[in-house]
Structures are given as C-alpha cells and as structure tokens.
Amino acid sequence: MFYFVPILPWHWEMIPAKARPRKCEDTRGIVAQDETGKLVAACVLDTWSFNSCQIHIFIDNPFVLKNGFAEEVFKFAFSEESGREVVIGITPEDNKQALKFIRHIGFEDIGRVPDGYKKGVDYILTAMRKEKCRWIDQPAVEDTAHG
C-alpha cells in the first residue's frame, strides 16, 4: 500500500541527489511513501507558466505506478486549481530508461535541443496535453451525430 502526499521540505532530502531537480520558488509536487514511511516515488513540478509546468519524476518502486501514482501526479498537474493544460519534460537523450518511461506514460516528443544537456548529448523535449492524458477523467464528448 502506498500513501500519496504533497511534497514537504523534509521529503526533499529523501529524493536521491541524481534525481533531485533544483528547487525553485514555485516547486510543488507529490511523493509516494510505503507503509513504513519510505519514499518510493516523487513527482516535482516547477517552472509554472500560464498554461504549463515542467515535470521531474523519481521512482524507486515501480509497483507505485500500478497503485495510482500516475493518476495522482496528473490529477494534481492538470487540476482545475492549477489551470494548466500542458506538462513538459526535458530529458537528456542518453537517459534511455527515462525516455522509454515517459513515452510509455503518454508524453510525446516535441523537439530537441542539440548539445542542450552537455556537448554531444541533446535534450529531448516532450509534452503531455491535458486532453490526451489517459491518467485523468476526461469530459464526456457529446455525440452530435445521433442527437
């Protein structure tokens, strides 16, 4: 069983350094903890603009995905309160595992920044749009053909 809670200052130190983004003024997110209190996943959202935010995900226990973590993350990111319609990912092209994961959960490639991560390693820009997110309830589409 996992518990999903808003990220608090003390959670920050539990995220491994290699997975921890720089903390920004607008950083918010969700963590998943197991029944012992161990941090098993974290989603950090930052760089909030009028219609988007940037996402950073750390997962230590993949079972968290089968137990509602993705639903909680995107429900938070695309909530009526947030008002955002786009979540953006920026991933080094040599992080094949992360790219496979984010594409699997529904992010689409939208661009590339040559040498963006470091010389010889591009950044891959990905995005998930609210209307294409399978992790949240979508409004019913009215069938006008049979109306």
Q: Is residue 91 within 8 Å of 123, Cβ to Cβ?
A: yes
In this prediction, residue 23 carries a pLDDT of 82
Residues forming beta bridges with residue 74, ordered by sequence position: none
The domains found in the chain, sorted by start residue, are 2-132 (3.40.630.30)
Question: What does the pLDDT profile of the chain (147 residues) look like in tens digits?
Answer: 899 999 988 888 888 776 777 788 888 999 999 999 999 999 999 999 999 999 999 999 999 999 999 999 999 999 888 899 999 999 999 999 999 999 999 999 999 999 999 999 999 999 999 999 999 988 776 666 665
Residues forming beta bridges with residue 86, ordered by sequence position: 52, 129
Q: How many CA atoms lie within 13 A of 147 on its CB side?
A: 5
Instruction: Record the pTM.
Output: 0.87
Query: What DSSP line would sit under 2-35, residue for residue?
Result: EEEEE--HHHHTTS-GGGPPPP-TT-EEEEEEET
